Structure 1
């Protein structure tokens, strides 16, 4: 299983990735750590000016909690977090990192709904790109490009994302199947071996119907990949590679499935393009053949008109 947090031997996240880290990891933090995370995300300039003691007093926590929060967010210590906060504050002041907009209200005009959703989608994509571990992405692409067979597991909205990835891989000549039925997923996972790849898509990181087939695939020797918004969730136990997604704030009119789907599709597109690059000599002709077949099917002659 990969190392989850950048602070454990990796480089500290860039300022642009700090807000994404907070949004991604806050739900899995203790309440006291959440207060620290919410404070630094809400007022990076103000918190950057505080000592560790000052931030502890502001959030009603302890200095140890502040330091633990900094490390969980990927920084070796509080000093490094303060530097990132100062950088994030500078970006916001320059207009390159706008503050988060308000939630959608029941009485919002449709034009405001469009604007708010568009902003949140853009922010989710930016957060996911900033927090995506490109080394893990590259390793996942390598495994997929050489795979004998690829199984993809997802339930609900994640199932739709899995289907999208499967049909993309099929169009470049790879053998890929998406499974939304947990029983079929496990039945197929039993058949996987080394050289095969299994992908689990679960925003929560704890969807049992997705984790179980991934576990089976892992134990049968397949390379396993998790696309998840909770890199510390149970799914990580059976993942050789973890690709972390971000999500906008959940609200009554904006469930997590909406924004998680957006970030998952970005990761799926990154995987597909990476695999297509690695297998270009075979992928390009396969894509051309599929385009030609589809064009022929929809031409007037093929429909008898």
Structure 2
């Protein structure tokens, strides 16, 4: 069984924890580097809970006890320190820049894979497969993902469109119905205009699939959320690794929908390949 990054798992579990366990979770998330060097009695004292509460909390997130919990935190902190969000220095060479971006992207994709709930992907793929129409909504870098998704699903004989303008999204949302699906894509999960159009689509009966971090307004509003938890420094750079992670999930959905079409659908895909062959130069 795959293990999710423990800090991400703790954050996602908070709404379902007891009040005493929430105290433990909040302290751990605030000071993970200190916690991995603490004794159980120290953490109990700092979080103002009992030692049995600490043990119950650890087991609740899949650890056998406090020692295993500390090991998982130490492992996660080591990865974060070695291959974290890249920081570009003024004297970095082009080789340094390439290494930092590539290594960070690879690490983040592994992170998304480790915490991905495949049941969420399956439910979303089922909804898309059965939909009369599928609309993809996103802004900025997420708008580029929406456009890529529209291109992929168009080839699968899905009636689809992608919109990155709030007015177009609103007009699209009110034309949808019970047989339609919206896929809302957001790195932050907190974009006001996107939340507005999602609510409009739901008011008219459409199902909403979200690609966003867990416990954000968008993922909580969605009918079928797919949680993608990536923290990025967006003050200096356009979201990079989250965009690539979203593209990866779109590919998973496209392949899952293709599989649901059955083996006879392969001829349709081959026909598309043949249709564009003449547009390419021969070797």
1:83 equivalent in alignment to 2:68 = yes
Distance 1:218 1:263 in 2: 26
1:37 equivalent in alignment to 2:37 = no
Asked whether the 8 Å contact 1:15–1:85 carries over to 2, the reply is no
Give a deviation string over 1:143-200, Cα, whole Å, max 9, x none. Answer: 0111110011100000000111111001111111111111111111111111211111
Q: 1:148 — aligned with what?
A: 132
Query: What is the CA distance between 1:235 and its match in structure 2?
Result: 1.4
Give a deviation string over 1:30-61, Cα, whole Å, max 9, x none. Answer: 9x966622543x478x34x631x42366xxx5
Tell me the TM-score normalized by structure 2.
0.80
Tell me the TM-score normalized by structure 1.
0.75
Asked whether the 8 Å contact 2:12–2:215 carries over to 1, the reply is no
1:288 equivalent in alignment to 2:276 = no
Seen in structure 2, the aligned counterparts of structure 1 residues 97 and 278 have a Cα distance that, compared at 3 Å, is farther
Give the unaligned 5+ runs of structure 2: 15-21
Give the unaligned 5+ runs of structure 1: 1-12, 301-305
Asked whether the 8 Å contact 2:9–2:61 carries over to 1, the reply is no
Distance 1:173 1:274 in 2: 14
Asked whether the 8 Å contact 1:171–1:287 carries over to 2, the reply is yes
Distance 1:90 1:77 in 2: 15
Query: What is the CA distance between 1:76 and its match in structure 2?
Result: 5.2
1:1-305 correspondence runs (5 A): 15-21=3-9, 36-37=28-29, 39-40=31-32, 42=33, 46-47=36-37, 50-51=39-40, 53-55=41-43, 61-64=46-49, 75=60, 82-87=67-72, 89=74, 99-101=82-84, 103-229=87-213, 231-250=214-233, 253-255=236-238, 257-281=239-263, 283-299=265-281
Give a deviation string over 1:77-111, Cα, whole Å, max 9, x none. Answer: 99757534424657999xx9984356332322221
Distance 1:81 1:134 in 2: 28
Q: Secondary structure at the match of 1:250?
A: coil
Asked whether the 8 Å contact 1:173–1:283 carries over to 2, the reply is no
Give aligned pairs, total.
272
